[in-house]
A and B are shown apart, each in its own frame.
Chain A
Amino acid sequence: DAGVIQSPRHEVTEMGQEVTLRCKPISGHNSLFWYRQTMMRGLELLIYFNNNVPIDDSGMPEDRFSAKMPNASFSTLKIQPSEPRDSAVYFCASSGDLYNEQFFGPGTRLTVL
C-alpha cells in the first residue's frame, strides 16, 4: 500500500525564491496535516485540513506561508518569499476516521540559502 507521498525530498533554494512542497495523502484518508521539524522547536503543526477544508491554521508562522488542498488526493504548502529561517524538514501526514492516528510522509528537507 502506498503511504503518504511527498515531493521533492530535498529542496535547496535562495532567499526570496518561492518554494512549493507537495503531498499526496493515503487514499481514503480525509484529514491532512502539514508539520515543520527543526532541532530547536521539534515537530510543530502548521495547518490541517478535513475533507479538503482548512480547519486550523493557527500554526502557520507568517503570511509568507500558504497551504491549499484542491482535492482529496493533493495538497501544497507554499512559502513566498522564502527566508533562511524557513530551513527545516516539512512533513505531511494524513489520517482517516481515527483522526489522531496520523501517518507521516518521508518529509521534504528545505534549505534556504
Chain B
Amino acid sequence: GQQLNQSPQSMFIQEGEDVSMNCTSSSIFNTWLWYKQDPGEGPVLLIALYKAGELTSNGRLTAQFGITRKDSFLNISASIPSDVGIYFCAGEPYGGSQGNLIFGKGTKLSVKP
C-alpha cells in the first residue's frame, strides 16, 4: 500500500534553533496535512495544504506542498520548549477515497532550554 516516509524520526535541538522535517512518497498526493501530538492527547491539526507548490504559514510554522506532489516539508522557526511533541505528516493519496488519510510515522521533537 501507499506509504509516507517521514524524517527525521527524532530531533534534539536547542531552544531558539530552527527545525525542518519532511515527508516523501513514491505516489502522488492530493492533500498534505501536518499534525502535532502531545503525550496523552490526540493529534492537533497545524497546517493543511491543497495545491502543488503551496506555501502556508501558521505563526512560526511554515509548510510546503512539494511541486511534484510527492513530498511536503514543515519548518519551525525559533523553537521554544512548548514545541516539544511528535509531528505527523498526513496525506490524501491521488485516486484514494476522500478523507482516507495516510499518516507518516512521526518526528519526535525535543527542545533543550
Once bound together, how far apart are the Cα atoms of A110 and B51, in whole Å?
Answer: 38
Minimal beta-carbon separation of B37 from chain A (angstroms):
8
Stretch at the interface among B19-27, B60-68, B72-80, B95-103: B95-103
Indicate whether A25 reaches chain B with its CB closer than 8 angstroms: no
Minimal beta-carbon separation of B77 from chain A (angstroms):
23
Once bound together, how far apart are the Cα atoms of A93 and B42, in whole Å?
Answer: 9
Once bound together, how far apart are the Cα atoms of A100 and B50, in whole Å?
Answer: 10
**Contact of B41 with A106 in the complex, beta carbons under 8 Å:** yes
List chain B residues, Cβ under 8 A from A104: 35, 42-44
**Contact of B48 with A42 in the complex, beta carbons under 8 Å:** no
**Contact of B33 with A45 in the complex, beta carbons under 8 Å:** no
List chain B residues, Cβ under 8 A from A100: 31, 33, 48, 92, 98-99, 101
Binary CB contact string for chain A from 77 to 103 against chain B (1 if under 8 A, 0 otherwise): 000000000000001010100111111
Partner of A107, one of B41, B97, B100: B41
Partner of B88, one of A33, A43, A44, A45: A43
Once bound together, how far apart are the Cα atoms of A93 and B33, in whole Å?
Answer: 14
**Contact of A55 with B99 in the complex, beta carbons under 8 Å:** yes
**Contact of A4 with B42 in the complex, beta carbons under 8 Å:** yes
Indicate whether A75 reaches chain B with its CB closer than 8 angstroms: no
Once bound together, how far apart are the Cα atoms of A33 and B100, in whole Å?
Answer: 9
**Contact of B88 with A101 in the complex, beta carbons under 8 Å:** no
